[in-house]
Amino acid sequence: MYLYKATCPDIPNPKQKGSRSHGGVQAQGLSHGRLVRQTSTGTGPRPYAPLMLWTAKKPKGVVRLKQLEEFLNVHSLSLHDTVKSQTGMVYRNLGKSGLRVSCLGLGTWVTFGGQITDEVAEQLMTIAYENGVNLFDTAEVYAGGRAEVILGNIIKKKCWRRSSLVITTKLYWGGKAETERGLSRKHIIEGEHTHTHTHTHTHTHIMKKQQLYAFVLSFYCVSSINFTTSLCPSGLKGSVQRMQLEYVDVVFANRPDSNTPMEEIVRAMTYVINQGMAMYWGTSRWTAMEIMEAYSVARQFNLIPPVCEQAEYHLFQREKVEVQLPELYHKIGVGAMTWSPLACGIITGKYENGIPETSRASMKSYQWLKEKIISEDGRKQQAKLKELNHIAEKLGCTLPQLAVAWCLRNEGVSSVLLGTSNPEQLTENLGAIQVLPKMTSHVVTEIDHILGNRPYSKKDYRS
């Protein structure tokens, strides 16, 4: 294919004034509202092609929105019919990928299969989904696999369109055996999985085993998590089986594995994506250096790099998300999906007068949280929360809503995962969407002044 290369005289110059001649072209002017050129041959003015017109350009977003509206009108649809318009939910790209996720997601850590009943879990997912949340996060280790079972049962019961959901799970700790944990190729892919071409009798056999796992897990999960993990097939195929899904949208490496070469991890993640078991992969609790190494390996061997890092982010934990991850986002497109926006409930203020019996800190396996709350640093945090509560009152919101909105004000955060134990908490936290427009630079500066823990990036040092 040959491309036409315009000569200099053919290209109009909008800054040209007067009647200077150059290369046979004497002057430019307007004739009946069109840009024309005068030639020395006396043939008269000839209009430029329409593509050569110099006009003021409209913003890309406005043009694309108009084009989308025109497309929808042709098909008798409207933007007012979308979930975004009806619920007011804000959606963002997951890193620099094309996957659109709700800026608030629902996590299942501690709650599903542990702190709450299956009925409450269903209520939470229903409230979240009806309010525009499309992101639901779990992991193979949560309640020994029970969390994935509950999540899958609810999705199946509700008959929600799979295409409307973004389901994520995490791999690392799948059981007690040495080969059931880590990020080896074996563990990442391990488990029982059926493809679309599987025979009917095999599919029936797998379904019966799914029902057996669900029954055994529901019977033993509360009393013995270690026992349940030995019954569950580990790895991504096992997770997909427990959730009764054909695939997950994002599979996360739940922590780094020093025993497995990075190339093996990246190749295994690329494999599960190519096999249709996942759409994307990401990392969780990885350092910036480890994420960069994974990206470099992927580029070196033409593999698929991670698109997202799951990191803890709240008012008292800021360094990684505000300093390290923004640089990774701009360089290699890795986004941030953050968890624990309320610092395991500390920011709600419910621990101000002690440890409530129904709280997470009162659980036997969370003594570390109890010690953290009653420590000297914990008391200092409670004092700062009292000051932050005054800002929340000025904005007309609760302290948890302010804390969640504060996390969302960071444009580098693709989504914030919420962990709630009752419908009232979830409804309150979802209200942070309305607080987000109120998070002005003045409010953020005031919060930073109270916290006194704003991290400084390289950009701040240069300035």
Helix (H/G/I), strand (E/B), else coil: 128: helix
CA–CA dist 169, 66 (Å, integer) = 37
Contact 439, 411 (CB under 8 A): no
Written as six digits, the tokens of 397 are 């919101």
Query: Is 461 an annotated catalytic residue?
Result: no
| 301 touches 263 (CB < 8 A) | yes
Residues 6+ apart with CB under 8 A from 247: 240, 276, 277, 278, 279
11: tokens are 């290209």
**Cα separation, 217 vs 461, whole angstroms:** 53
Q: Single out the catalytic residue among 129, 142, 213, 329.
A: 142
The radius of gyration of the chain from alpha carbons, rounded to an integer in Å, stands at 28
Distance CA(116)–CA(339), nearest Å, equals 19
CB environment 334-365: b (16+ within 10 A), e (fewer):
bbbbbbbbbbbbbbbbbbeeebeeebbbeeee
**Which residues have a catalytic role annotated?**
142
